Amino acid sequence: MLELKSVHKNFGGLQAVGNVSFAVTSGSIKAVIGPNGAGKTTLFNLIAGNLEVSSGRVVFQGKEIQGMKPHQVAALGMARTFQNIKLFHGMTALESVMVGRHVCSRAGFLAGMFHTPATWKEERAIREKAMELLELLEIAEFADTEATSLAFGQQRAVEMARALAMEPKLLLLDEPAAGLNIYETAEVARLITRIRDMGVTVLLVEHDMSLVMDISDEIVVLSFGQKIAEDVPTAIQQNPEVIKIYLGEDEEATA
Ligand SMILES: Nc1ncnc2c1ncn2[C@@H]1O[C@H](COP(=O)(O)OP(=O)(O)OP(=O)(O)O)[C@@H](O)[C@H]1O
Ligand SMILES: [Mg+2]
């Protein structure tokens, strides 16, 4: 599904991501972990086209995508959520998800404002699809509630539904459990597994180790921009180098 080949990113003198290579198998859940500042979000930004690689290649479904713009990458079938929730004020949960869908609708967002029969029909289809996704993520009862007034866990689910509305092949989730309590985290874990079972490949960044260990097929560990390990969860848990970097960091990041 996705392959990174010696991906490198410098910010001035700082090497945020150094020669990182790994692949994500179609139909799997892969996690990227590592201490704060390890380069995880930067790596996501490089994959999704939000940042340009300094060197290296990003291959998505057999196609080199480094240097492409985010909307071009999205059009190829990659969607993402952000570390900080990005929902618009004044929009209901349903409308928030419909925005994701409009990105790939034929009529497009502007055309949708001129209500021809064709756009009405498309609008209704978009609404139905968005509603289906809210049901899938178990937040259908909040369809008409303003998204930003929902509980954190529900806002995360709205964001995931919005990303899924683009019908991606690959979904990137940056810290989907950040700020959630243990119940909400368990819920998010279940939703991510459900998304994978729908046939969407998932790559996630996450600090919550119970979530990562429970749902990931494979884990990549970053430290200071370098890949220091890549393996199945049970092996990662016993990897001395990984244990060392996690014992060496502060409480908050390992919590
Ligand atoms: N736009 C930028 N300009 C300059 N430096 C940056 C930029 N973005 C990130 N960095 C630096 O690159 C390094 C990696 O940051 P990044 O946000 O990728 O880490 P992270 O692993 O996602 O951390 P966290 O777990 O805290 O989210 C950090 O040292 C950070 O300060
Ligand atoms: Mg980050």
Task: From the CA of 205, give the closest atom in ligand 1.
Answer: 22
Q: In this structure, is the dihedral angle defined by the CA atoms of residues 245, 83, 27 and 157, taken in order, positive or negative?
A: positive
> Which residue owns the Cα nearest ligand 1 atom 29?
37
Task: Look up residue 167 and give its amino acid.
Answer: E
- Segment 144-167 shows an average pLDDT of 93
- Give this prediction's pTM: 0.89
pLDDT for 4 equals 97
- Give the distance (Å) from ligand 1 centre to CA of residue 39: 5
Give CA–CA dist 193/28, Å, rounded. 10
- 75-132 pLDDT tens trace: 999 999 988 878 888 899 999 999 877 665 555 555 555 666 667 777 888 899 999 9
- Give the distance (Å) from ligand 2 centre to CA of residue 177: 12
pLDDT for 105 equals 53
- Give the distance (Å) from ligand 1 centre to CA of residue 41: 7
pLDDT for 251 equals 46
Q: Is residue 148 pLDDT above 80, yes or no?
A: yes
9, 10, 14: residue to mutate for ligand 1 pocket, most atoms within 8 A of CB: 14
- Give the distance (Å) from ligand 2 centre to CA of residue 224: 13
Pair of tokens at residue 127: 């609404």
Q: Which band of pLDDT confidence, cut at 50, 70 and 90, is reported for residue 255?
A: very low
- Give the distance (Å) from ligand 2 centre to CA of residue 42: 7
Domains of the chain (ranges, CATH numbers): 1-77+168-255 (3.40.50.300), 86-167 (3.40.50.300)
- Decide the pairing of beta strands 14-24 and 170-174: unpaired
Task: From the CA of 9, give the closest atom in ligand 1.
Answer: 12
User: Coil, strand, or helix at residue 18?
Assistant: strand
pLDDT for 32 equals 97
Q: Which band of pLDDT confidence, cut at 50, 70 and 90, is reported for residue 165?
A: very high
Q: Is residue 11 pLDDT above 50, yes or no?
A: yes
> Which residue owns the Cα nearest ligand 1 atom 28?
37
Pair of tokens at residue 170: 């690959």
- 178-198 pLDDT tens trace: 989 999 999 999 999 999 999
> Which string of DSSP letters, residue by residue, matches 133-202?
HHHHTT-GGGTTSBGGGS-HHHHHHHHHHHHHTT--SEEEEE-TTTT--HHHHHHHHHHHHHHHHTT-EE
Task: From the CA of 12, give the closest atom in ligand 1.
Answer: 4
Nearest-ligand number for the alpha carbon of 208: 1
Q: Which band of pLDDT confidence, cut at 50, 70 and 90, is reported for residue 64?
A: very high
Q: What is the mean pLDDT of the chain?
A: 89
Nearest-ligand number for the alpha carbon of 82: 2
